[in-house]
């Protein structure tokens, strides 16, 4: 069985794997009308989250997804669906290229124009913004679409069981919390860190 990619969290200058959570309030793509599916056996749920704790508050920092394209049409009040076809929409094409004109974020294009296809532009236009951040075509552990520097407050009330310094034992195909040298429990109330319990193994 393929080991699954763990979500992670940046805490006190280190990166920790999230082993499990208790309570409610973590990020789920469905809240933004994004349905995901597995692209790889290492991430069956089709998305990966990286969180951060800054000034004792929990934020979503990075999201990588593999969206189900047909499901993106379900919510049309905040998802703009448009397929660019160079034959029927010549104004959408560049003047010196067979490729469609590609959308841009505030700072950079989401994809190399030499690799632009109507299908990718269609997905780009259907994916919603998250905390005013648009998805980029960038490969990650779960899929080909990534949101960077999201800085979305996460209103978790409960615990995150996190760990770092993994030692991979022979014969194991998944990450077990018993094989980490440092284990930390983070306790949150409405996204505010109220306690931490650190367990370091010799």
pTM of the entire structure? 0.75
Confidence of residue 21 (pLDDT cuts 50, 70, 90): very high
For residue 137, give the nearest of 118, 120, 154, 150 by alpha carbon.
120
For residue 5, give the nearest of 36, 68, 49 by alpha carbon.
49
Q: pLDDT at position 124, please? A: 77
Q: pLDDT at position 111, please? A: 44
Q: pLDDT at position 98, please? A: 33
Strand 8-11 relative to strand 14-24, pairing: antiparallel
Q: Say how many CA atoms lie within 13 Å of 52 toward its Cβ.
A: 12
The secondary element (H helix, E strand) that includes residue 160 is: strand 157-166
Domain boundaries, the chain: 8-67+131-200, 80-126
Distance, in Å, from the CA atom of 2 to the CA atom of 45, rounded to the nearest integer, reads 13
């Amino acid at each position: 069985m393929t080991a699954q990619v763990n979500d992670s969290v940046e805490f006190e200058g280190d990166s920790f794997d999230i082993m499990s959570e208790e309570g409610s309030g973590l990020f789920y793509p469905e809240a933004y009308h994004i349905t995901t599916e597995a692209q790889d056996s290492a991430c069956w749920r089709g998305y990966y989250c990286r969180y951060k704790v800054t000034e004792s508050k929990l934020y979503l920092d990075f999201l990588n997804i593999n969206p189900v394209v047909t499901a993106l049409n379900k919510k049309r009040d905040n998802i703009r669906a448009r397929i660019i076809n160079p034959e029927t929409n010549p104004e959408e094409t560049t003047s010196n290229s067979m490729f469609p004109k590609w959308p841009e974020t505030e700072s950079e294009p989401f994809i190399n124009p030499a690799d632009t296809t109507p299908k990718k532009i269609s997905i780009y236009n259907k994916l919603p913004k998250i905390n005013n951040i648009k998805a980029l075509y960038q490969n990650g552990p779960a899929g080909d679409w990534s949101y960077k520097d999201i800085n979305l407050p996460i209103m978790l009330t409960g615990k995150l069981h996190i760990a770092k310094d993994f030692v991979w034992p022979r014969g194991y195909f998944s990450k077990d919390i018993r094989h980490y040298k440092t284990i930390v429990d983070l306790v949150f109330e409405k996204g505010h860190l109220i306690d931490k319990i650190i367990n370091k193994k010799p």
